[in-house]
Structure 1
């Protein structure tokens, strides 16, 4: 997925709870836009369920396809039975900026490795069905400097391409800072050049992300 493409992120937190062979599994999902946010969420759940034997987790802390921002932990469960199944469900959901912590209160009956994989992965799978998502649009900032006589023309083009005014300075000319979706940037810039007869000075400020 190209870096300018929008992607889905959670709009709220979700909790799913089930009992399997007397073990209670509590799955919590949250929006975590960075690794630091993911770690903070994991820590808060661990404090909330400090008496639980296991708080296993996984996160996708950015764009869904960016595996550099993935992480997981079995938190004492047998290797590969918790963290990996949790992360597999998250990464397969195509939702970005999401973390899952699955808390287990053991009931004394062993589930076996296959049972654990199914319990941890299944809990996240069920929680993902409940999560509400919104689209995160990837935007960029452009600065456009034009003569006052061309301002209304620029404003019409902004409306046409879904651009919004970020800042504006009125000096000898008008200096507009405009936020626009990266997907629309090239067509917008070309339209400004064409409609103003190349009389607009356009510079790229930075890349940003807006939900």
Structure 2
């Protein structure tokens, strides 16, 4: 299974004004609910005079998130947290929290207007957020002939994988750290050269 995950590279903010109401969208990388709670609390401290601090988060990949949550924070039910979450679920980033802080401008937007505003503010901050790939490493032991060392090093130079240790005995024993996408090419290399590859974690 592919375990690479696209996550936010850093925290970002974007602002949207709709009929004099200010919507400040803050995107925060998160790994668990504790970080979500801390980031929401920090947003309340940073914008203490705002009327609403609405939010939604996803843990894991958007297509099959391992955790999700949302809050309308006093807005009519379904007009804030849900549209924020909906945008996140149709995006590419995982392990992400978006908090949209609203300063009321004196003109009511109506339910449909609120949904659009919260969704658009979320899209706006997603559009400016740089992404990075989170890679889960797995440890493997490769056993083979001495002649494999240089071809193996050459193969790894084109992959994400790392050679962490090599022991010389009757042959070589190489400890490797491989990303999920690296395993098949390394297995194919071993099959072609009569080497053995086994997972050690």
Normalising by structure 2, report the TM-score: 0.85
Q: In the alignment, does 2:172 pair up with 1:204?
A: no
Alpha-carbon separation, structure 1, partners of 2:157 and 2:116: 50
Structure 1 counterpart of 2:70: 72
CA RMSD across the alignment: 2.4
Moved over 6 A (4+): none
* Residue pairs, 1:1-211, within 5 angstroms: 3-4=1-2, 6-146=4-144, 148=146, 150-165=148-163, 167-168=164-165, 170=167, 172=169, 174-195=172-193, 197-198=194-195, 200=196, 202-206=197-201
Distance 1:17 1:4, change over 3 A: same
Could you say what secondary structure the match of 1:177 adopts?
Answer: strand
Asked if 1 retains the 8 angstrom alpha-carbon contact of 2:56 and 2:82, the reply is yes
Give the Cα separation in 2 of the matches to 1:161 and 1:56: 41
Unaligned 5+ runs, structure 2: none
| 1:63–1:113 Cα change, 3 Å | same
Change (3 A) 1:180 1:36: same
Q: Deviations over 1:144-197 (max 9, x none)?
A: 2345554334323333544212x21536464422122312312312312331x2
TM-score (norm 1): 0.81
Count of residues in correspondence between the two structures: 200
**Structure 1, unpaired ranges of 5+:** 207-211
User: What SS does the corresponding residue of 1:190 show, helix, strand or coil?
Assistant: helix
Q: 1:136 to 1:108 in 2, by over 3 A?
A: same
